[in-house]
Chains A and B, each alone.
Chain A
């Protein structure tokens, strides 16, 4: 049998073609798996533009509470509250009442609730006159700048921001609101009036039936 040039080149072409087909098939298999992964990675944000995770947090979520007026942003001093609670004495029902500079509080130790030992309920009523005496006025722009800094801190320390907004502070809050959503820091806001003048902080079993707010951890 004589082997001609054209024989060799023809068989070469076919085997190259076969090799190409094998490679293409492998690439197709690989990319179909990759496409599968990409489809699954399509995460949807479900909670008002805030990407949230459900996570574990034994201690009541690390949060910073702020009282917002038109010209003041006041941090709720929980250290001062804690000291006043420890110094104060419980009445017959396990309730401690007292004051700090910024307002008065009622602290319920939930003595009869036989669950976790650190369950409590705290009602804090701000004293606006005292606050206005103690803290200087701020411009709206100062408040916005401060909130920006607080957001950065909240993100890095995994804490949430809680705003107790008075009617006078609604205007400022309205301008802050888009910023808060954009930065994806979980936050909470309640609206206070002279009649509804208390901030409720608590840790109790009802919070663990369903999540009202998700926290970063």
Chain B
């Protein structure tokens, strides 16, 4: 071989590797057309883009995929997503007549917790005056005296109120102390303690102990399915958890948490009759710090549930520019599904 040919060969090799590198990046950013049957046929190997192959953990991972596919189909074939969600969650509107889901305590959310005697007594009157007052010291003194002198539900309610007061003043350790005392009061119904567990979860989240927050909130939501504030905190906690790399790449947990997050959005849509309140929650979600793709999808999903397709498209389109390369499987499910949904909405001129 002559020098010139060697030189030419070197040039070709280098140029080819440049083109290969650029091509890899470009191809990886392309999404398959929605009708493509190419997906999930070959096992994932090496640098294969995740959308083109089937991960060997797919059995559990596809839970999210199947669930989300079905959900999106269900929600876009109905004019009113609320009717469909009601059906999907076996949600009985009759239970709703007596509940105030935006109530800040379980006693506000449901009737008939306190006895008639408790509601008519002098302690009740003092509770009401405490609520009326702006004087912090008066509030603390009165509530502490109630907590000392009373037992049962009245004592619990005073301790809960004290915890909330100190929480508002950002005195977290004092709040925690009162919550512990509140949880020690023996009550006849577990449901009555959900607010204390909720506040504890809030404190856990403030201190970045996300797993404990999620455990606490699971307990809360198991007892009280109508607790809107708990769902909102749960969304925040799940998003924080999902922003951790090890969680994101654990398919089963990632899928589970994502499903929990999206279902929480669905429950709040059902519970909060005021669509504006629901949409304002979607806007608060924008301020979440962490995984931006999950956040965009959650906000877009909220708009879908509110029947606001402009908002849906706006937030799901943010996912279009996201690359699949290096993503976890569950994120790629979100990306795929959002593409499908956008295509569907376009097809139906929505």
Interface size for A (C-beta < 8 A) is 68
Known A114-B114, A114-B119; contact A205-B103, beta-carbon cutoff 8 A: yes
Please tell me which one of the listed residues A18, A59, A60, A111 contacts residue B14 in the complex, with CB atoms under 8 A apart: A18
Which chain A residues border B129 with CB–CB below 8 Å? 82, 85-86
Interface of B is mostly: helix
Q: How far is the CA of A40 from the CA of B134 in the complex (A)?
A: 38
Q: Are B154 and A117 in contact (CB under 8 A)?
A: yes
Q: Shortest Cβ distance from A67 into chain B, in angstroms?
A: 16
Q: How far is the CA of A114 from the CA of B123 in the complex (A)?
A: 15
Known A116-B108, A217-B168; contact A21-B102, beta-carbon cutoff 8 A: no
Does A43 lie at the interface of the complex (its beta carbon under 8 Å from any beta carbon of B)?
yes
Q: How far is the CA of A85 from the CA of B126 in the complex (A)?
A: 9
Q: Which residues of chain B from 108 to 161 have a CB within 8 Å of any chain A CB?
A: 108-114, 116, 118-120, 123-135, 138-139, 154, 157, 160-161
Q: Are A209 and B102 in contact (CB under 8 A)?
A: yes
Q: How far is the CA of A85 from the CA of B131 in the complex (A)?
A: 13
Q: Which residues of chain A from 1 to 50 have a CB within 8 Å of any chain B CB?
A: 1-2, 4, 7, 10-11, 14-15, 17-18, 21-22, 25, 29, 32-33, 35-37, 39-41, 43-44, 46
Q: Are B14 and A14 in contact (CB under 8 A)?
A: yes
Does A57 lie at the interface of the complex (its beta carbon under 8 Å from any beta carbon of B)?
yes
Which chain A residues border B339 with CB–CB below 8 Å? none
Q: Are A117 and B274 in contact (CB under 8 A)?
A: no
Does B343 lie at the interface of the complex (its beta carbon under 8 Å from any beta carbon of A)?
no
Q: Are B21 and A117 in contact (CB under 8 A)?
A: no
Which chain A residues border B17 with CB–CB below 8 Å? 18
Q: Are A36 and B128 in contact (CB under 8 A)?
A: no
Nearest residue, chain A, Cβ from B125? A109
Q: Shortest Cβ distance from A160 into chain B, in angstroms?
A: 11
Known A18-B14, A59-B161; contact A208-B108, beta-carbon cutoff 8 A: yes
Q: Shortest Cβ distance from A158 into chain B, in angstroms?
A: 8
Please tell me which one of the listed residues A2, A41, A86 contacts residue B126 in the complex, with CB atoms under 8 A apart: A86
Q: How far is the CA of A37 from the CA of B322 in the complex (A)?
A: 11
Which chain A residues border B105 with CB–CB below 8 Å? 58, 116
Known A46-B283, A116-B108, A117-B124; contact A62-B292, beta-carbon cutoff 8 A: no
Which chain A residues border B286 with CB–CB below 8 Å? 40-41, 43
Q: Are B108 and A78 in contact (CB under 8 A)?
A: no
Known A86-B126, A86-B129, A117-B114; contact A208-B134, beta-carbon cutoff 8 A: no
Which chain A residues border B295 with CB–CB below 8 Å? 40
Q: Shortest Cβ distance from B23 into chain A, in angstroms?
A: 12
Does B104 lie at the interface of the complex (its beta carbon under 8 Å from any beta carbon of A)?
yes
Nearest residue, chain A, Cβ from B295? A40
Q: Are B3 and A117 in contact (CB under 8 A)?
A: no
Please tell me which one of the listed residues A11, A205, A217 contacts residue B10 in the complex, with CB atoms under 8 A apart: A11
Q: Are A1 and B18 in contact (CB under 8 A)?
A: no
Q: Are B107 and A117 in contact (CB under 8 A)?
A: yes
Which chain A residues border B168 with CB–CB below 8 Å? 57, 59, 158, 217
Q: How far is the CA of A62 from the CA of B69 in the complex (A)?
A: 46
Q: Are A210 and B274 in contact (CB under 8 A)?
A: yes
Q: Shortest Cβ distance from B3 into chain A, in angstroms?
A: 6
Q: Which of A118-126, A142-150, A171-179, A182-190 contacts B (4 or more CB under 8 A)?
A: A118-126
Q: Shortest Cβ distance from A45 into chain B, in angstroms?
A: 10
Q: Shortest Cβ distance from B206 into chain A, in angstroms?
A: 13
Does A81 lie at the interface of the complex (its beta carbon under 8 Å from any beta carbon of B)?
yes
Does A140 lie at the interface of the complex (its beta carbon under 8 Å from any beta carbon of B)?
no
Q: Shortest Cβ distance from B218 into chain A, in angstroms?
A: 19
Q: Shortest Cβ distance from A32 into chain B, in angstroms?
A: 6
Please tell me which one of the listed residues A4, A21, A29, A158 contacts residue B3 in the complex, with CB atoms under 8 A apart: A4
Nearest residue, chain B, Cβ from A81? B132
Does A56 lie at the interface of the complex (its beta carbon under 8 Å from any beta carbon of B)?
yes
Q: How far is the CA of A82 from the CA of B131 in the complex (A)?
A: 10
Residue-wise, chain B 19-30 has the 8 Å CB interface mask toward A (1 for contact) of 001100100000
Which chain B residues border A32 with CB–CB below 8 Å? 321
Q: Write the residues of chain A forming the contact surface with B, with a CB cutoff of 8 angstroms.
A: 1-2, 4, 7, 10-11, 14-15, 17-18, 21-22, 25, 29, 32-33, 35-37, 39-41, 43-44, 46, 52-54, 56-60, 62-64, 78-79, 81-82, 85-86, 90, 94, 107, 109, 111, 113-120, 122, 158-159, 201, 203, 205-206, 208-211, 214, 217
Besides A82-B138, A114-B119, 7 more A-B contacts (Cβ < 8 Å) are A18-B17, A57-B168, A78-B135, A85-B129, A114-B116, A118-B127, A159-B134
- 29 pairs, CB–CB < 8 Å, chain A vs chain B: A1-B3, A4-B3, A10-B7, A15-B14, A18-B17, A36-B318, A43-B283, A43-B286, A53-B284, A57-B104, A59-B161, A63-B134, A81-B132, A82-B132, A85-B129, A114-B114, A115-B113, A116-B103, A117-B118, A119-B108, A119-B128, A205-B108, A208-B101, A208-B102, A209-B100, A210-B273, A211-B274, A214-B280, A217-B168
Q: Write the residues of chain B forming the contact surface with A, with a CB cutoff of 8 angstroms.
A: 3, 6-7, 10-11, 14-15, 17-18, 21-22, 25, 100-105, 107-114, 116, 118-120, 123-135, 138-139, 154, 157, 160-161, 164-165, 168, 195, 229, 232, 272-274, 276-277, 280-281, 283-284, 286-287, 292, 295-296, 299, 315, 318, 321-323
